[in-house]
Amino acid sequence: MKELLTGNEAVARGAYEAGVTVASAYPGTPSTEILENVAKYKEIYSEWAPNEKVALEVSIGASIAGARSLAAMKHVGVNVAADPLFTVAYTGVNGGLVLVTADDPGMHSSQNEQDNRNYAKFAKIPMLEPSDSQEAKEFTKIAYKISEEFDVPILLRLTTRICHSKGIVELEDREQVEIKEYVKNIPKYVATPANGRKLHVKLEEKLKKLEEFSNNTSLNKVEWYDKKIGIITSSVSYQYAKEVFGDNASYLKLGFTYPLPKEKIKKFANEVEKLYVIEELDPYLETEIKAMGIEVIGKELIPRVGELNPDIIAKTLLGENKEVIEKNEEKVVGRPPTMCAGCPHRGLFYELSKKKNVVVTGDIGCYTLGSAPPLEAMDTCICMGASISAGHGFSKAAQVNGRETKVFSVIGDSTFFHSGITGLIDIVYNKGNAATIILDNRITGMTGHQHNPGTGYTLMGEVTNEIDIVKICEAIGVKHIEVINPLNLKETKAAIDKAMEVDEPMVIITKWPCVLKKSPNEEIEEYGLADRKICEVDQDKCKKCKMCLKVGCPAISFDSEKGAIIDDTMCVGCDVCLQVCPFDAIVKVGE
């Protein structure tokens, strides 16, 4: 049977067919749908972990127990998981272990576009790179066989275009894989220095055998056509190269890209007149091939920044400009990303934006949009969990240098569980005075509403223990904690004003469900979500002062003749604009 699957769906299918029984991940675009689809296979225990390090460690533990396991994460998540990754390369596996990294060339939804192929060489783990959905499924299955044959974890590297593009995939039955016997083996699994030194030697021996495998495996294949041009490529770049050059070039398509098949590369290079390396982002292949003394053309022509496509390759390598439809700049309406109408974060950032001599350190999530006009209520955003610790550093620097600046750190509920807790511990332990604002919207919002330890539900839909953020803060030692409704501006302002005066650690928790969330019945009742009425503008009262526009709600527009207008198809009745209007011109419909 065949189905049309995305690359992420295909990886999930591959894990199912390979007999995987344990999978763990932290959501992050473009990898999120891998675990969401794995969870549909009831034969696989699947879970959202608090962060990527935990996800990989769960999978490592399952592997040592003898089960085939999978961990999935976006590219920057591997940075979080790097500590166990480098050590499991030494210890090896029992049941097969695959780590899926989903890179994001072009930064469609990421803070950088790091090339995680470098992790394979850095951590000394074999790497596979599929170029379409069919290969995503097949390579996942093959990865488990390689993992168990060579006693190594495998890095399966995808990119956004592979993750989210659809292709026809041949489905097969699930392989019934019995869990392997666990045998206590301290020299293998206890990574003390004495054991690690021996394990490192063994790993280098494995890599030599894996390079021999790389030279012989059909994962690295030659396609002979015209030999005047040879192209070495991998991943989605292979598809782009084939679209541009067709039969006018020969190809060495690499699916197993660490260790590289050096003998196969040399033989291919000797057969062609001109050799190109086509790859996205870093010159990962090019650098290695040039180090072999082989002359190639690559990044001197092909951009190393951003996502590739056939047009870029045709232009840079063949000088061809594809005909495209030019957009009419006069008709194109700018639609910058903004918080949704009714977003519970809007009121908080509106109040923060009015404060003077305040610095707001931000984090990764929807609320990063608090940095966008007209709110512009954020100064920094570095990585997951950095808002609290960076805010503490900023605050300490100000203190020791005699500068009076109040620092607020804003962080989402899921991100707080991910890696914000340790930053708060740091503030309490080191007597900081930065205020922490935890934006609890009852879900992991930006990646598409995945459950987290604070929601009370698991990935598999089971009711579970809800981790109480207030109790966590109390246990850490925070004495000043305020839980507020962020849609109530007076309440929000009062909490911020209090934090301005407190010279000790303080936590404000803004608690309201994401406006896009499909809330369970108990949540609808708790927050009165079913009773809300939308707002409208009383045009007779509107003085055209534009104060309502300062909250940055996409449901509000302005007409020079009529004044403010509220789109009744977007408004959800959050009331933030109603509270801002100085002339009571915004009212509830029907009241």
Beta bridge partners of 535: 588
DSSP code of residue 243: H
Q: Residue 143 above 90 pLDDT?
A: yes
Distance, in Å, from the CA atom of 410 to the CA atom of 413, rounded to the nearest integer, reads: 10
- 3-state SS, 435-489, equals EEEEEECCCECCCCCECCCCCCECCCCCECCCCCHHHHHHHHCCCEEEEECCCCH
Instruction: Output the six-digit token pair for 449.
Output: 């509403």
First to last CA, the chain: 58
Q: Do 2-216 and 220-318 fold alike per CATH?
A: yes
Residue 205: Cβ within 10 Å count: 10
CA 569 vs. chain centroid, Å, equals 31
How many helices (DSSP H) and strands (DSSP E) are in the chain?
22, 23
Q: Could you read off the pLDDT of 235-293 as tens digits, one per residue?
A: 999 999 999 999 999 999 999 999 999 999 999 999 999 999 999 999 999 999 999 99
Distance, in Å, from the CA atom of 225 to the CA atom of 138, rounded to the nearest integer, reads: 25
Confidence (pTM): 0.95
Q: What is the pLDDT of residue 581?
A: 98
Q: Residue 386 above 90 pLDDT?
A: yes
Beta bridge partners of 222: 252
Q: What is the pLDDT of residue 144?
A: 98
Q: What mean pLDDT do residues 417-436 have?
A: 98
Contact 538, 471 (CB under 8 A): no
Residues 6+ apart with CB under 8 A from 24: 35, 46, 47, 48, 49, 54, 55, 56, 58, 59, 69, 70, 71
> What is the CATH T-level fold of the domain 535-588, as seen in this structure?
Alpha-Beta Plaits (3.30.70)
Q: How confident is the model at residue 447 (pLDDT cuts 50, 70, 90)?
A: very high
Residue 563 three-state SS: strand
Q: What's 2-216's CATH class?
A: alpha beta
| Numbered residues of the known binding site | 542, 545, 548, 553, 571, 574, 577, 581
Q: What is the CATH number of domain 220-318?
A: 3.40.50.920
Q: Could you read off the pLDDT of 93-139 as tens digits, one per residue?
A: 999 999 999 999 999 999 999 999 999 999 999 999 999 999 999 99
Q: Which of 112, 118, 52, 102 is nearest to 82 (CA)?
A: 52
Residues present in the chain in total: 591
Instruction: Output the six-digit token pair for 108.
Output: 């469609």
- Residue ranges per structural domain of the chain: 2-216, 220-318, 344-527, 535-588
Amino acid found at 117:
R
Q: Could you read off the pLDDT of 8-26 as tens digits, one per residue?
A: 999 999 999 999 999 999 9
Angle between helices 193-216 and 133-150 (to 10 degrees): 130
Largest CA distance in the chain: 82
Q: Residue 330 above 90 pLDDT?
A: no
CATH 3.30.930.10 fits 344-527, yes or no: no
| Numbered residues of the known binding site for [4Fe-4S] cluster | 542, 545, 548, 553, 571, 574, 577, 581
DSSP code of residue 252: E
Contact 361, 387 (CB under 8 A): yes
